[in-house]
Amino acid sequence: MKDKPVKRSCLAIACSPRKGGNTEILARRALDGAAAAGASTEIIILRDFCCAPCKACDGCFKNGRCVVKDDAVQIFDKILAADGIILAAPIFSMGICAQAKMFIDRSQQFWACKYVLDKPVVEDEERRRGRLGVFLSVSGAGLPGVFEGAARVVKYFFKMLDINDAGAHCYSKVDKKGEILERPDAMAGVYEAGIKLATFFE
Ligand SMILES: Cc1cc2nc3c(=O)[nH]c(=O)nc-3n(C[C@H](O)[C@H](O)[C@H](O)COP(=O)(O)O)c2cc1C
C-alpha cells in the first residue's frame, strides 16, 4: 500500500462573469481554508480563459480527448491533477450560470472516457478515492429550491470526473457585489469545506 499523500492539491474554478463577485469571494475563502490545512491551492477564473462550447461532434468518443484545442485543455489537465475541486458559480435565470454550464458541457470528453471507452478518468485507484468536490453558490433572491437544478448539474460534473461529491454550500439573498462578506456563516462554512478538502486522508 502506498503512503498517504503528504500534501493535497485543491483547485477552485470560479465561473461567474462578475469580477470579484460573491462566488469568487467564496471560492477564495475555501482555498484559504485548504491552504491553512496544508494543501497547495490554485484558482481558475473562468472568464479569463477562452473556451469554446462543445460542438457535439462526438470526436472525443475516439480517444477521450476533445478535438477543440483551446484554453479548456489546460483547465482539464489541472482538474485531473487536483485532489480537491471547488466549483463556484452563481444562480442566473433559475439555474447555474451559463459560463459554468458551458464549461461542464465542454467537459464531455470525460463522459466519453467513462461511458463510451469504459475507462476511469483517473486511473490510480487511490487517487480516485481521494478526489473530493464541493459546489459553492449564491442567489440574489430567496426562492425555495432555487439551487436544486444547479446542484444536480454539478453532481453530474463531479461524477463524470471521478470526484466524490462532498456537498454544496449555497446561500440565498446575496445579490450585490461583495455582499457575501456580510454573511459570516457563509465565510466560515466554505472555509471549513476547504479544510475538509485538504485533510481528507487524515
Ligand atoms: C443575468 C442574471 C440572472 C440572475 N438570475 C437570478 C435568478 O434567477 N434567481 C436569483 O435568485 N438570482 C439571480 N441573479 C442574481 C445573482 O444570483 C446574484 O447577483 C449573485 O450574487 C451573483 O453572484 P456573483 O457575484 O458570484 O456573480 C441573477 C443575476 C444575473 C446577473
In a domain, 89, yes or no: yes
C-alpha cell, 65: 480527448
How many Å apart are CA 14 and CA 100, to the nearest integer?
A: 8
In a domain, 183, yes or no: yes
In a domain, 140, yes or no: yes
C-alpha cell, 143: 426562492
CATH number at residue 90: 3.40.50.360
In a domain, 1, yes or no: no
Position 3 confidence tier, pLDDT thresholds 50, 70, 90:
low
How many Å apart are CA 23 and CA 44, to the nearest integer?
A: 12
- Using DSSP's 3-state secondary structure scheme, residue 3 falls into coil
| Any atom of ligand 1 within 6 Å of the Cβ of 137 | no
| Ligand 1: nearest atom to the Cα of 25 | 26
In a domain, 110, yes or no: yes
In a domain, 4, yes or no: no
| Any atom of ligand 1 within 6 Å of the Cβ of 25 | no
CB atoms inside a 10 Å sphere around CB 67: 12
- pLDDT over 70, % of the chain: 97
Q: Which of 175, 181, 183, 190 to mutate to test the pocket of ligand 1 (most atoms within 8 A of CB)?
A: 175
In a domain, 93, yes or no: yes
* 81-126 confidence digits (pLDDT tens): 999 999 999 999 999 999 999 999 999 999 999 999 999 999 999 9
pLDDT confidence of residue 5: 53
Q: What mean pLDDT is predicted for residues 194-198?
A: 97
User: Closest residue (by CA) to atom 9 of ligand 1?
Assistant: 94
Residue range(s) defining the domain that contains residue 92: 9-198
How many Å apart are CA 88 and CA 75, to the nearest integer?
A: 15
- Residue 195 Cα to ligand 1 middle (Å): 27
* 161-187 confidence digits (pLDDT tens): 999 999 999 999 999 999 999 999 999
C-alpha cell, 97: 450560470
Q: Which of 23, 24, 93, 177 to mutate to test the pocket of ligand 1 (most atoms within 8 A of CB)?
A: 93
In a domain, 2, yes or no: no
- Residue 75 Cα to ligand 1 middle (Å): 25
Counting the structural domains of the chain, the total is 1
